[in-house]
Structure 1
């Protein structure tokens, strides 16, 4: 059994001085898990952004796009590093027709906008060649709880540990440990205390 103490200890020691980056990269389950494997990423959440429809939900998403929002430790990784990751996750000169699954890079600050400009200037594409939407983040709406940490939800030995540790669904969503273990459940390589010793195939 994976010790619940490892979850609470990991979360208690997580960095508190974080910055935020938000990306649309297709169905949000995949990038939510992939982002959790990045060194310096503290927590992840999925939701809706980029549209004008009020109070979007999965069933009434309107003109919004599925996105992953990443909290990261600026002392370990940077917005530029995350841009490199985000652009590696899709083909910038193309764009899905369905707005719900389009590729979007959101910026929240003038510093992020400048970093994005520099990234594109140094890339193999001109801005005219890039179909990826480049937008300012006006609002972010959390997706329903059943979309949060989707890969983790199907991995019983992980969910059992969170339940034993007393986490409710919102706490799991915002847990730094859950971000890492969601990545692990999706098959990404992650470093987490006691992970290899605790894995129980078939559970």
Structure 2
């Protein structure tokens, strides 16, 4: 298949719905990169970027307060587990260091005992304990979606891809929540994606 408005609508209609997916939230520095990386991952259905971990009500990019940039993923637990995601998170950063700026700190939000056990297991496999790492391990109190221009940031640099969503009548919120947009965002960033759509080379579309 080629990427057309009909292809976009068909792919998203067939994706796993929210009743069959779980959600996980992580902080890994600037959220553009993790958004693309997780979006390309098998089993990840949707992604969105935002702010969490602080106390300021209704944060924004230019008024962030004590919040951190985070990536939130909806995933199919029959394909990829929460532990799989946590293992990938700790491969993406050094848990023994932490940026000084709260905005870009590394955070794993584990809001249940089962998830905290999964985090502890992943750390133990690498010889760490929760008390021996700088990565913040917290419960998620609230997630605030970031501004539209941050959502699927790499995809937004690919004008021909983005125009297909516009022709399909997608709003910015629908692009943010689109399963195929998550995959294409990863693809434009240079990650391998497993979708049955004929796509040109990423460097024909990506800029910056």
Deviations 1:11-46 (A, max 9, x none): 011112100110000000110011011100000000
- Residues 157 and 200, structure 1, Cα contact 8 Å, conserved in 2: no
Could you tell me which residue of structure 2 aligns to residue 125 of structure 1? 128
Matched, 1:201 2:207: no
- Residues 21 and 71, structure 1, Cα contact 8 Å, conserved in 2: yes
Q: Structure 1 stretches of 5 or more lacking a match?
A: none
Could you tell me which residue of structure 2 aligns to residue 14 of structure 1? 15
Could you state the TM-score of these two structures normalised by the residue count of structure 1? 0.95
Deviations 1:116-164 (A, max 9, x none): 1222222232333311000010111011111100000010121011111
Could you tell me which residue of structure 2 aligns to residue 84 of structure 1? 87
Could you tell me which residue of structure 2 aligns to residue 4 of structure 1? 5
| Alignment map for 1:31-180 (pairs within 5 Å) | 31-180=34-183
- Residues 2 and 157, structure 1, Cα contact 8 Å, conserved in 2: no
Partner Cα distance (2:202, 2:160) in 1: 8
Partner Cα distance (1:99, 1:35) in 2: 22
Could you tell me which residue of structure 2 aligns to residue 187 of structure 1? 190
Partner Cα distance (1:25, 1:162) in 2: 28
How far is the alpha carbon of 1:166 from its aligned partner?
A: 1.1
Partner Cα distance (1:202, 1:110) in 2: 43
Q: Classify the secondary structure of the residue corresponding to 2:98.
A: coil
Q: Structure 2 stretches of 5 or more lacking a match?
A: none
Structure 1's 200 and 86: CA in aligned 2 closer, same or farther, altered over 3 A? Answer: closer
Partner Cα distance (1:64, 1:172) in 2: 24
Corresponding pairs, count:
203
Q: Classify the secondary structure of the residue corresponding to 1:6.
A: helix
Could you state the TM-score of these two structures normalised by the residue count of structure 2? 0.92
Q: Classify the secondary structure of the residue corresponding to 1:104.
A: strand
Partner Cα distance (1:53, 1:104) in 2: 17
The alignment's C-alpha RMSD in Å is 1.7
